[in-house]
């Protein structure tokens, strides 16, 4: 009995020891080479390793073509990017450059750079001239699709051809110390877009780009954005919502302790008139926001219709409920400091404004506070003086 017991214990100890051993893989290609095939092969090997594994891309500059790193993996996996990977100029109608998909227990870190080489592609962008479904498709730099229990830390995305980072279907994912860089004039280069995800956190990051610094799409729940500095860019936005059929509700969004510098918008919610769906965005809270020369610092726009691609006579059917703007201070780039432009079909409900101090020093000042189809609850002080317009209701409502 004693011999059998000893063997059993030894077997368990061996198993525990095996599970504790992580396997390290390293990309050994010389700088300047194309590492696409090698990286895919190495990732697949690491993904199939029975215990934790890591893939190192060392310092240096490497070429990287379109690549999809697909799980599920047998154990948690980490990619450490210390060098710079550069995209090629060939887009071929692809919707991504680098994709991480269906991985549980994923980490990406190392201080490295994803360089999307977007300059030539921006000149080819024609989405402002035609319907979204017809314009030339450009690749998103980095996609995280259905990634769970993930931490993305200390990476840089620069000069993406389209969105820098797109998060879809994530569960329990943190993006921390992310740096995003693109020129102010680069089109459609949203910094981080999150959609149909639960429990995402974007923390302590710096985003300079040509479109929304952070855009929050349909189906997003329990999102925290904290200590993010944005600018240039179009601000931090919920939406746009209502463009597509079968969109899902948005709920539980907190944007706190953020700074916006020289952005086209500050914190905003945007929905399309003549919306293709009827969903609800609720539990959205903006708090402790610092503004420096921000155009449209606080904005609810339920008549969002860029390039007149919709029917503004049909009010938005997206319902906005339980929204708050608190402790927001700084300077505005124009006199429209606060605009709450809600839908006449579905007026905003339970909107709170508390301790707003936004100054404007232009010749056409002072700053203004506009409301339509909303009666906000006011707390603390409001500079400029807050409106309290009556809610417009359609017959039968």
Query: Which residues are marked as active site?
Result: 234
Q: Which residue has the tokens 């214990």?
A: 9
d(CA 381, CA 326): 10
d(CA 57, CA 40): 12
Q: Shortest CA distance to 66 belongs to which of 126, 140, 5, 150?
A: 140
And the tokens for 4? 């059998």
d(CA 266, CA 258): 10
d(CA 151, CA 14): 30
d(CA 183, CA 122): 11
d(CA 316, CA 343): 6
d(CA 82, CA 150): 19
d(CA 21, CA 50): 10
- Three-state DSSP at 120 gives helix
Contact 343, 307 (CB under 8 A): no
Residue 122 DSSP one-character state: H
d(CA 287, CA 203): 15
Residue 34 DSSP one-character state: B
What residues does 150 pair with on adjacent strands?
106, 173
What residues does 63 pair with on adjacent strands?
34, 86
d(CA 171, CA 198): 5
């Amino acid at each position: 009995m004693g011999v059998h017991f000893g063997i059993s214990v030894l077997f368990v100890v061996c198993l525990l020891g095996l599970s504790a051993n992580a396997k390290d893989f390293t990309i050994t290609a010389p700088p300047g080479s194309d590492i696409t095939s090698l990286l895919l092969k190495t990732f697949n090997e690491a993904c199939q390793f029975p215990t934790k594994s890591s893939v190192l891309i060392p310092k240096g500059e490497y070429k990287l073509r379109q690549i999809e790193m697909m799980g599920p993996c047998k154990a948690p996996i980490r990619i450490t990017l210390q060098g710079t990977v550069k995209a090629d100029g060939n887009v071929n109608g692809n919707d991504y450059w680098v994709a991480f998909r269906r991985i549980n227990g994923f980490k990406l870190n190392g201080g490295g750079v994803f360089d999307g080489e977007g300059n030539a592609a921006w000149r080819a962008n024609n989405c402002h001239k035609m319907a979204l479904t017809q314009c030339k498709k450009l690749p998103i730099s980095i996609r995280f699709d259905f990634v769970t229990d993930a931490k993305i830390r200390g990476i840089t995305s620069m000069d993406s051809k389209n969105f820098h980072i797109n998060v879809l279907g994530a569960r329990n994912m943190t993006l921390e110390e992310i740096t995003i860089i693109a020129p102010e004039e680069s089109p459609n280069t949203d910094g981080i877009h999150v959609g149909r995800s639960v429990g995402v956190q974007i923390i302590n990051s710096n985003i300079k780009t040509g479109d929304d610094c952070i855009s929050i799409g349909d189906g997003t729940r329990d999102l925290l954005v904290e200590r993010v500095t944005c600018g240039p860019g179009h601000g931090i936005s919920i939406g746009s919502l209502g463009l597509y059929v079968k969109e899902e509700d948005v709920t539980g969004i907190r944007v706190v302790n953020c700074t916006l510098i020289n952005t086209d918008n500050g914190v905003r919610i945007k929905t399309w008139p003549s919306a293709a769906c009827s969903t609800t965005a609720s539990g959205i809270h903006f708090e402790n926001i610092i503004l420096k020369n921000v155009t449209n610092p606080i904005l609810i726009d339920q008549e969002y219709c860029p390039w007149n691609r919709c029917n503004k006579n049909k009010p938005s059917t997206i319902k906005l409920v339980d929204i708050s703007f608190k402790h927001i201070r700084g300077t505005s780039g124009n006199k429209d400091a606060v605009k709450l432009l809600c839908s006449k079909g579905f007026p905003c409900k339970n909107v709170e404004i508390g301790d707003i101090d936004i100054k404007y020093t232009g010749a056409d000042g002072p700053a203004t506070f506009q409301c339509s189809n909303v009666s906000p609850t006011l707390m603390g002080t409001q500079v400029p003086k807050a409106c309290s317009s009556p809610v417009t209701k359609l017959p039968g409502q």
